[in-house]
Amino acid sequence: MVTNPQVRLTVRDYLSIPEDDENRYELIHGELYMAPAPSWRHQESIANLVSILRDFVRSNGLGRVVASPIDVYLSDEDVFQPDIIYISVERLDIIHFNGVHGAPDLVVEVLSPGTERRDKTLKSARYAMFNVREYWQADPIAKTIAVLRARDGVFEHVGVFGEGMTLETPLLPGLRVDVSAVFDYYVPQA
């Protein structure tokens, strides 16, 4: 965390971060957080899942899938950079030249030691509050995907899908995610 919790920052403050600052930041309920560079497993998991989601969404004309970095503006005090987002064709108007202005239908966060706690608590609560319909927490170490579905402004835990399992969701009818394929990556030497 890089801000004084007594001072609430806004989108205006977030946008004043110099463009040559190569760090990744998120504004969560008025507090600025910096995220460390992601690991190899983290990035490969994102690439695999984006490929699966994008191919399905495009071939069925369902909307758009994009990977970070992309700013998602949820309020004047909340700007997130989720690892992956899906926006349904009916809601493409929330996509603007400078990011997404509104809640994506699906948000996927690939967990990492530096951000896992924040992804599971602060960000999860804010995603629910701002009406993200479904939230996936992909864990490249445990090789699982936890699925949370919005109901009345909070997330209900639908289930945890592991290797050898197939993830399906009513949000994207017909999609079948082979969880093993998401976590099929090269493991670099220590």
CATH number of 120's domain: 3.90.1570.10
**Domain assignment of residue 14, yes or no:** no
Structural domain contains residue 156: yes
Is the residue at 129 inside a domain? yes
Q: Is the separation of the CB atoms in 143 and 169 below 8 Å?
A: no
Per the prediction, the chain carries an average pLDDT of: 90
Query: Which range marks the domain in which residue 102 is found?
Result: 37-182
**Count of domains for the chain:** 1
Task: Answer whether residue 10 is part of any domain.
Answer: no
Q: Is residue 87 part of a domain?
A: yes
CA 155 to chain centroid, in Å, comes to 15
Question: What pLDDT, in 10s, does the model give residues 143-175?
Answer: 999 999 999 889 999 999 999 999 999 999 999
In degrees and rounded to multiples of 5, residue 16 shows phi and psi of -85, 0
Domain membership of residue 23 (yes or no) is no
124 part of a folded domain: yes
pTM for this one? 0.86
